Structure 1
Amino acid sequence: MDALIAVWETFFDFDAMRVALPDLLTVGLPNTLILAVSSGIVGTVLGMLLAVAGLSRRRWLRWPARVYTDVLRGLPAAVTILLIGVGFAPIGLMVWGPNPYPFGILALGLIAGAYIGEIFRSGIQSVDVGQTEAARAIGFSGGAAMRLVIIPQGVRRVLPALVNQLIALIKDSSLIYFLGLLSSQRELFRIGQDAAANTGNQSALVLAGLFYLVITIPLTHVVNAIDKRLREGRRVDAVDPAEADDFDEEMDSIAGQESVR
């Protein structure tokens, strides 16, 4: 019984949680979201470029994209973060001072780009080739067909996987602590770890883990809802006829412009 009480007090000391809560809310949570969202934007843009380059018929575009993807997916995330964050630290000190966030965001974005690029590439390749032929038949150029027809369909098919990658970024943001953080720069994990190290009690770290769950579990349900909606589709009787007519007119207009070109 004493052992169980000791374990409970080690992980669920509510006084220790209460002490760590303000820093987790006002410092750790905003910093974690900044890291995840910023690196997610970088990774998404880079991933789309890698996907298009990886599908190109030009070797000078295709092979660098594939080599980049293989290397960044093969390296541990901590190694990439340290190589970029520590290796380029002197440049960062001269430009923006002792703030590891820019290089941390860059490193996370580069890692995410390699994974997101493969997600986009698989989505684009899953679109039936007949879609391209149909777009060309109504006057679209090859580039316009890819940009306006193929890529939107491919992205829609991989939205759940894309959100899953964002969830992974939220968790990987904890690795930024390798670069050394000031008190105001700490994210959720670092605050929980510091409190646990100072008190010898793991309750603050457990509370930090609960914060991660509060962020990631709703996103997981969003992924499931998106996946269900994409698999079931939209009810036909729910489509506004006027909306459908406007869409047809817009597509005819785009096709006409491409034909003129």
Structure 2
Amino acid sequence: MRRGVLYALFVALIALVAYAADWGRLREQFLQIDIAREQFPEIITIAAKNTLLFTLIAFVGGLVLGIVLALMKLSTITPYRWLAIGYIELFRGLPALLTIFAMAYVIPIALEVRMPFGQVGAGLVGLILVAGAYMAETIRAGILGVPKGQTEAARSLGMSSGRTMISITLPQAFRIIIPPLTNEFVLLIKDTSLLFIAGSTIQTKELTTFTRDAQSVNANGTPLLMAAMLYLFITIPLTRLVAVLERRMAKAR
């Protein structure tokens, strides 16, 4: 009976929303076919392509930085360990938008330096710095999750600590952390929308900036709905992949 009541409440809520919604106005504001047609092919060839490209750059850069930081945090050398801890706590504590803004405007002005690839490149550096801090903790957890017997067996065979880490520990650690790293990739896809604050040219716009500009020009929300659909088209398969990987790892354990 309790389940039946819950289902009835759900159906009633859906019916109430459907009855109360102004479908004509929603169609006028978000489903204009002519405006949607105007966005092609640039929304795919420029905006979606840049979103994936920026995500890949930020992910690879963050992964490399995360490995270095994780090894530094696990190091027995105290200055390295404290430096890694300070970095990770700093960039995990700051909003990503603030970091991107600092790299795009504050640092170049304060130090009189020019970032590679202009403002977008500076924004990507900020995104890499943030991603590296989060990935470092994920990688560190993966390293600690490898049984100590693996390391002891490698050392007993005469492997150095560095060779053991590269050949034995890290490969097993990455097998453990594939699901959370995939989640981080999904988060980076959405975080590329923060690059708008760094500015962009016509050829460097990502999905959010591209559709926001189109919405401003047309005074209509259709481009935003298209961007939302493209984001879901990209992220949903990845989130399902994470679920599959987690189930397989659970069975393996």
User: Of the candidates 35, 38, 59, which is equivalent to residue 54 of structure 2?
Assistant: 35
Deviation at 1:87, TM superposition (A): 2.0
Aligned to 1:134: 153
Q: What code does the residue aligned with 2:242 have?
A: V
CA contact (8 A) 2:91 2:129 kept: yes
How many percent of aligned residue pairs carry the same amino acid?
35
User: Of the candidates 84, 87, 100, which is equivalent to residue 68 of structure 1?
Assistant: 87
Q: Could you give the per-residue CA deviations for residues 70-114 of structure 1, whole angstroms, max 9, x where no partner exists?
A: 0000000110000001124458985767x3221121111111000
User: Of the candidates 165, 190, 204, which is equivalent to residue 185 of structure 1?
Assistant: 204
CA contact (8 A) 1:85 1:103 kept: yes
Paired residue secondary structure (2:41): helix
Aligned to 1:53: 72
CA contact (8 A) 1:120 1:155 kept: yes
Deviates more, 1:117-126 or 1:21-30: 21-30
TM-score (structure 2 length as normaliser): 0.86
Q: Cα gap change, 1:131/1:205 in structure 2, threshold over 3 Å: closer, same or farther?
A: same
User: In the alignment, does 2:174 pair up with 1:162?
Assistant: no
List, as ranges, runs of 4+ consecutive aligned residues in structure 1 with deviation greater than 4 Å. Answer: 89-97
- Taking the aligned partners of 1:152 and 1:96, their CA distance within structure 2 comes to 32
Q: Could you give the per-residue CA deviations for residues 195-219 of structure 1, whole angstroms, max 9, x where no partner exists?
A: 1111221110110111111111111
User: In the alignment, does 2:40 pair up with 1:21?
Assistant: yes
Q: What code does the residue aligned with 1:183 have?
A: I
TM-score (structure 1 length as normaliser): 0.83
Q: Could you give the per-residue CA deviations for residues 10-45 of structure 1, whole angstroms, max 9, x where no partner exists?
A: 122222211123221121011111210011110000
Q: What code does the residue aligned with 1:190 have?
A: T
Paired residue secondary structure (2:40): helix
- Taking the aligned partners of 2:203 and 2:35, their CA distance within structure 1 comes to 20
User: In the alignment, does 2:126 pair up with 1:107?
Assistant: yes
Paired residue secondary structure (1:100): helix
CA contact (8 A) 1:35 1:101 kept: no
- Taking the aligned partners of 2:87 and 2:114, their CA distance within structure 1 comes to 28
Aligned to 1:10: 29
Paired residues in the alignment total: 233
- Taking the aligned partners of 1:64 and 1:93, their CA distance within structure 2 comes to 24
Q: Cα gap change, 1:197/1:62 in structure 2, threshold over 3 Å: closer, same or farther?
A: same
Aligned to 2:213: 194
Q: Cα gap change, 1:64/1:96 in structure 2, threshold over 3 Å: closer, same or farther?
A: closer
Q: Cα gap change, 1:147/1:95 in structure 2, threshold over 3 Å: closer, same or farther?
A: closer
- Taking the aligned partners of 2:77 and 2:199, their CA distance within structure 1 comes to 42
- Taking the aligned partners of 2:143 and 2:244, their CA distance within structure 1 comes to 22
Q: Cα gap change, 1:94/1:74 in structure 2, threshold over 3 Å: closer, same or farther?
A: closer
Q: Cα gap change, 1:150/1:93 in structure 2, threshold over 3 Å: closer, same or farther?
A: closer
Paired residue secondary structure (2:159): coil
Q: Cα gap change, 1:29/1:92 in structure 2, threshold over 3 Å: closer, same or farther?
A: farther
CA contact (8 A) 1:196 1:205 kept: yes
> What root-mean-square deviation, in Å, do the aligned CA atoms of Structure 1 and Structure 2 show?
2.1
Q: What code does the residue aligned with 1:120 have?
A: I
